[in-house]
A = this chain, B = another copy of it.
Amino acid sequence: MHLPQALNALGSLLGQRLSTSKHDLDLHGRSESYFALTPPDAVAYPQTTAEVQQIVRICAEHGVPVTGWGAGTSLEGHALAVQGGLVVDFSQMDKVLEIRAADMDVTVQPGVTREALNQELRATGLFFSVDPGANASLGGMAATGASGTTSVRYGTMRENVLALQVVLADGRVIRTGNQARKSASGYDLTGLMVGSEGTLGLLTELTLRLHGVPEAVSAGVCAFGRIEDAVDAVLDTIQMGIPVARIEFVDAATAAAFNAYAGTSLPECPHLMVEFHGSPEGVAQDSARFGEIAEDHDGLGFQWSTLEEDRRALWAMRHNAYYAILASRPGARALVTDICVPISRLARAVTETQADLAQASIPGPILGHVGDGNFHSILMFDPENPAELAEAKALSHRMVQRALDLGGTATGEHGVGMGKLGYMQREHGAGWDVMTTLKQAMDPQGILNPGKLIRPR
């Protein structure tokens, strides 16, 4: 790596938009997770694809690692420059380029956040569905294959990215996909890029699928005496084909954290939170059918509403869960686990995880997007106490092993980054070698986000 020469060239290109200030480096050395501070050597703030192309060319020439940065909300350290080099911060590429309402799609720059996009779409009757909770950047969401509460109905980023513009490791710019809703024209490069975590290219433009704002929305919450009953109710809902738009599980500890954080008075037991989208008659019928299922599984009364204020309150709780849980142990940091299992194994995965957590000395409330078989435990540890971090890692490790034993995946939505590298061999076997082969073919120098996703050299 010839860093000084690269920084000279980058400085000529970007002027003030190349930063080596300690403040900037530290800001881009932090993650929302438990990883140690990892400041890069410099931060670039490009404004155009052409600038990103020039940046990558300069870094390629001088062998300098390049790591993309969206909103910094990744939980697996994706955006940390673990081998030093340059972080490319896309916050100044934040324009919604074109809304095509008739085609129900939109083209954006990577730095647009999902909330900013939905704000911009308000007058169109359309919305962008993928909702990971955090106000992540759309580039980061595509790069990490994000999903969230609505994926059970509208899909993850994989299903919602139609086309990309990508700067490759050698500075070439390609376009993958197009506006056609389906295509059988060659390898699915869009699908290869989504979830590639910046290791195959930097995303400089995204065309995203939009959905019509439903005519009516109903949302509700139901408490259950036992976790198994709540999970069985999810299973029945999915298997009966009730078109649930969201179906979220929170355990008793999460409900208690909500109450403490937001002054609510939920019973301190497991809950399901659901939402239905459709016509007024349709959502009423879906809500009624879900209510019957909940009753069959000893639900403690399902209450639902189509009023926007009620729904907002309900989902604000869910979206604030992470902060509510963190607030329940002041000073703690969190290791957030993320496994996904076939839905028939969900009850077993959740109850075994809960039993494991019951033996632990640190708290780990459970919540998740259970319609997909995906759930998390938010393991809180005292950052001053290495034994607690070690225990959190051990609990997370056993959760992943459990998921893989049950035919699931080490990460449902948070990605590999650094945190899940150690499970790639077991999950993919020779398939991981294939990923490494693809990486070497596309980035032979290994300058794009080194240390993530693929086998370390």
What is A's interface to B at a CB cutoff of 8 Å?
100, 102-105, 144-147, 151, 155-156, 158-159, 168, 172-176, 178-189, 191-192, 194-196, 200, 211-212, 214-215, 235, 238-241, 279, 281-282, 285, 338, 340-344, 372-374, 403, 407-416, 420, 423-424, 427-435, 437-438, 440-442, 453
Q: Is B186's CB under 8 angstroms from A453's CB?
A: yes
Note all chain B residues with C-beta closer than 8 A to A235: 102
Closest residue to A192 on the B side, CB-wise?
Answer: B192
Q: Is A412's CB under 8 angstroms from B183's CB?
A: yes
Closest residue to A439 on the B side, CB-wise?
Answer: B187
Q: Is B431's CB under 8 angstroms from A442's CB?
A: no
Known: A188-B194, A343-B103. A182 touches B147 (CB 8 A): yes
Known: A102-B235, A235-B102, A429-B174. A184 touches B416 (CB 8 A): yes
Q: Is B239's CB under 8 angstroms from A102's CB?
A: yes
Closest residue to A435 on the B side, CB-wise?
Answer: B187
* Closest beta carbon of chain B to A347's beta carbon, Å: 11
Contact for A184 among B215, B412, B433, CB less than 8 A: B412
Closest residue to A214 on the B side, CB-wise?
Answer: B241
Q: Is A185's CB under 8 angstroms from B427's CB?
A: yes
Known: A343-B103, A440-B441. A408 touches B179 (CB 8 A): yes
Known: A158-B191, A340-B180. A409 touches B241 (CB 8 A): no
A323 to B151, CA, bound (A): 40
Q: List 8 A-B contacts (CB under 8 A).
A: A159-B159, A178-B407, A180-B340, A181-B374, A184-B195, A184-B338, A191-B191, A279-B285
Known: A103-B343, A189-B434. A414 touches B181 (CB 8 A): no
A175 to B426, CA, bound (A): 11
Note all chain B residues with C-beta closer than 8 A to A168: 434
* Closest beta carbon of chain B to A70's beta carbon, Å: 15
16 further interface pairs, Cβ-Cβ under 8 Å (given A147-B182, A182-B412, A183-B409): A100-B344, A145-B184, A158-B182, A172-B433, A174-B430, A175-B428, A178-B427, A181-B342, A182-B409, A184-B338, A185-B427, A186-B424, A186-B428, A187-B435, A188-B194, A192-B438
A342 to B105, CA, bound (A): 10
A344 to B282, CA, bound (A): 28
Note all chain B residues with C-beta closer than 8 A to A342: 100, 103, 105, 179-181
A188 to B434, CA, bound (A): 11
Note all chain B residues with C-beta closer than 8 A to A429: 174-175
Q: Is A373's CB under 8 angstroms from B181's CB?
A: yes
* Closest beta carbon of chain B to A435's beta carbon, Å: 5
* Closest beta carbon of chain B to A452's beta carbon, Å: 10
Q: Is B189's CB under 8 angstroms from A411's CB?
A: no
Known: A102-B235, A429-B175, A437-B442. A412 touches B192 (CB 8 A): no
Q: Is A144's CB under 8 angstroms from B184's CB?
A: yes
